Amino acid sequence: MTEIFDNADTTDTTVGTTNATDVAGVGSVVARTRAHLRAACAGLGDGDIGVVMTMGALHEGHATLIRQARARARHVIVTIFLNPLQFGPREDLARYPRTNEADLEICRREGVDVVFMPTPSVVYPDGDPGVRVSAGPLGNVLEGQARPGHFDGVLTVVGKMLHLTGADQAYFGQKDAQQLLLIRRMARDLDFPVEVVSVATVREADGLALSSRNMYLAESDRETALCLSRALRAGADAAVEGPSAVRRAARAVLVREPLALIDYLVLVDPSTLEDVPEWYRGEALLAVAGRVGTTRLIDNVPVNVGPGGGALEVFSEDAGHGHDLTSPAS
């Protein structure tokens, strides 16, 4: 893996020097400043660019995103940046796992062209940015209610990374469904020239959704955490009977696991995050969040509610649009 680097790692005035070391003969480039990223992107040549944005601690879920990008885009950029803006004062920024060497090995294995690994002083050269992207009302519910300001931090860094990489497509996992919705809204509302691509949630063999935070779980906690995915499966299996049946089936699983402290279990419209009424038929988001031991976990499944209903891998492009949740006649 070829690395373009600057000894100070904070300046952005020169392309810097090039380390000729090339791990396993793969010509991936690690860029650490804006100028180095520009130089690396300029060297890619023609063709569209797909970007996968991460905070590091890469796992098979991230690898799946990279493979999806690799299958569609001519060039693939992975960003590895632990964004301080999306962590609250009582959250786990300091203990968030940092596995840079393993992350780079995954990028090399998956054929990533450029890895952008900046420090906070590169992304935010003037410190905390005075101007940020606001997530608006959709950022204040569900995860936003539990983590005030979180989605403003997410959208701000995603917007910056889209500008810096010049990506044509950006790949995000369905597991972070509210984040995915907000990024799509930002791209549409602010005219970002990028296609936001949703990729189905990747799970362990036992059903637990892959997450960097899973490594915090003790063995006993992990068994408890499985109630989240089991609840979602039960709810999806009841989707043919309507919204009340979905909520009832999922809740029945959760109440049998007292060691999981549930923040919310909702069945909502995937474009507005409003609770769907009993008459609703169509695609909906069944989402759950809770704390297991000291670790907060989220999970969700897209479902089709009504006749022939059940679990979906990802939402359709027009999921939820056009529904008036106040009127069964709409």
d(CA 231, CA 159): 34
What is the C-alpha to C-alpha distance for residues 268 and 287, in angstroms, rounded to an integer? Answer: 8
- Give the count of alpha carbons within 13 A of 21, CB side only: 6
Q: What is the pLDDT of residue 91?
A: 76
Taking the C-alpha atoms of residue 68 and residue 51, their distance in angstroms, rounded to an integer, is 10
pTM to 2 decimal places = 0.90
List strands edge to edge, sheet with 282-292. 260-268, 282-292, 295-305, 310-311
pLDDT at 17: 35
Q: By C-alpha distance, which of 141, 300, 186 is closest to 233?
A: 300
Q: How far apart are CA 206 and CA 214, in angstroms?
A: 13
Which is the catalytic residue, given 36, 59, 62, 75? 62
Model pLDDT, residue 89:
79
Residue written as token pair 């549409």: 188
Q: Please classify residue 69 by burial: count the beta carbons closer than 10 Å to its beta carbon, then call 0-12 exposed, 13-18 middle and 19+ buried.
A: buried
What is the C-alpha to C-alpha distance for residues 25 and 28, in angstroms, rounded to an integer?
Answer: 9
pLDDT of residue 28: 82
62 is catalytic: yes
- pLDDT under 50 in the chain at which residues? 5-26, 322, 330
Q: What is the pLDDT of residue 226?
A: 97
pLDDT of residue 171: 98
